[in-house]
């Protein structure tokens, strides 16, 4: 499996605090069948602002450690970037990282923002050649209240990345209900671990895959979410428009219509 969202680098954000913890977390990922993992520490302005060069250096060090310890897994560099007004400038200056240097950028949406502002910002990123990958949309209050919002984003060319544990019985009710709904409607295309620690937020990618297969009634379709789709992302290949299901909102302003004309 390929995991494009994880917090496995030590002392970067709210993930592991030491190399020993990082190695233990990587062992757990490898035991679940993960062979490639993208390290995506948070970028939150004023909270977590790791230097891109430091992330890449830590990934190199992690790969050396994994090789030395006999862990059959390769780490790549990325970042989970909060959707903020300065994001385009940060990307242009390479102050934040895309997923393995690709056109795909992992975005965490604010819990609340004006929808027109959201669609305008997504559109601007697309105009500059980026493909937004929305991190764990099932945890976002706006999308929990209106799952059709995620459908609109996908129809405009964005992608959705589900956290595996959100599909399990241990997840909070709103998150689990929203996550299962998004999977059934095909408005998420990737399942990742979003692993932070062994005890608090462990990787449950294998269990999430099984649950997705049940929801989709297709093992093959579920496996694409942890193999084919993430592989195309890290190889910077085009995914194509997902076949999302459901009804789009009928109302919308000029910016939404512009997105529709540009991206279908």
pLDDT > 60? residue 256:
no
State residue 200's pLDDT score. Answer: 82
Q: What is the CATH number of the domain that holds 92?
A: 3.20.20.140
pLDDT of 112 over the 50 cut = yes
Cα–Cα distance measured from residue 152 to residue 147, given in angstroms and rounded to the nearest whole number: 9
pLDDT at residue 244, as a whole number: 59
Listed residue (76, 71, 87, 77) closest to 32, CA to CA: 71
* Predicted pLDDT of residue 246: 59
Structure tokens at 148: 């059709």
Task: Output the pTM of the full model.
Answer: 0.90
Is the predicted pLDDT of residue 257 greater than 50, yes or no?
no
CA pair distance 175, 194, nearest whole angstrom: 14
Q: How far is CA 80 from the centre of its chain?
A: 7
Which residues is 37 bridged to in the sheet? 3, 75
Q: Which residue has the higher pLDDT, 1 or 261?
A: 1
Domain extent for 68: 2-263
250: confidence class by pLDDT, cuts 50, 70, 90? very low
Q: pLDDT value at position 111?
A: 87
What is the mean predicted confidence (pLDDT) over 233-239? Answer: 95
Three state DSSP letters for 28-76: HHHHCCCCEEEECCEEECCCECCCHHHHHHHHHHHHHHHHHHCCCCEEE
Q: Is 254 exposed, middle or buried (0-12, 13-18, 19+ CB in 10 A)?
A: exposed
Summarised one tens digit per residue, pLDDT across range 141-191 is 999 999 899 999 999 899 999 999 999 988 999 999 999 999 999 999 999
The C-alpha atoms of residue 38 and residue 123 are separated, in whole angstroms, by 25
- Rounded average pLDDT over 236-253: 61
- How buried is 2 (Cβ within 10 angstroms: 0-12 exposed, 13-18 middle, 19+ buried)? buried
Q: State the average pLDDT for the chain.
A: 90
Q: Tell me the mean pLDDT in the region 2-25.
A: 96
SS3 (DSSP) at 155: helix
pLDDT digits (tens, 9 = 90+) for 195-222: 999 988 899 999 999 999 999 999 999 9
Please state the rounded mean pLDDT for residues 89-97.
95
Do you know the residue count of the chain? 264
Q: Quick one: average pLDDT of 219-235? A: 97
Q: Confidence band (pLDDT; 50, 70, 90) for 262?
A: very low
The number of folded domains in the chain is 1
Judged against a pLDDT cut of 80, whether residue 254 lies above it is answered with no
Encode pLDDT of 18-57 as tens digits. Answer: 999 999 999 999 999 999 999 999 999 999 999 999 999 9
Q: Is the pLDDT of residue 194 over 90?
A: yes
Q: Output the pLDDT for position 241.
A: 58
Looking at per-residue pLDDT, the higher value among 88 and 262 belongs to: 88
């Amino acid at each position: 499996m390929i995991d494009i969202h994880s917090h496995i680098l030590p002392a970067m954000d709210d993930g592991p605090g030491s190399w020993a913890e990082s190695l233990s977390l990587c062992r757990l990922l490898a035991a679940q069948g993960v062979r490639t993992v993208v390290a995506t520490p948070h970028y939150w302005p004023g909270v977590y602002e790791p230097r891109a060069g430091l992330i890449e250096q830590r990934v190199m060090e992690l790969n050396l450690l994994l090789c030395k310890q006999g862990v059959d897994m390769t780490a790549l560099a990325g970042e989970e970037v909060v959707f903020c007004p300065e994001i385009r400038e940060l990307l242009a200056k390479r102050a934040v990282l895309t997923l393995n240097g690709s056109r795909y950028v992992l975005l965490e949406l604010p819990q609340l923002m004006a929808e027109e502002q959201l669609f305008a910002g997504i559109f601007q990123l697309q105009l500059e050649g980026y493909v937004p990958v929305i991190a764990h949309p099932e945890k976002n209050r706006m999308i929990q209240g209106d799952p059709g919002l995620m459908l609109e984003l996908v129809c405009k060319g964005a992608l959705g990345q589900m956290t595996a544990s959100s599909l399990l019985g241990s997840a909070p009710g709103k998150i689990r209900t929203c996550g299962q709904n998004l999977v059934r409607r095909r408005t998420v295309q990737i399942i990742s671990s979003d692993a932070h620690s062994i005890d608090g937020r462990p990787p449950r990618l294998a269990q999430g895959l099984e649950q997705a297969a049940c929801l989709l009634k297709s093992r093959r379709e579920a496996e694409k979410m942890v193999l084919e789709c993430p592989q195309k992302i890290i190889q910077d290949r085009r995914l194509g428009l997902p076949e999302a299901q459901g009804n789009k909102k009928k109302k919308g302003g000029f910016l939404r219509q512009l997105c529709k004309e540009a991206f279908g």
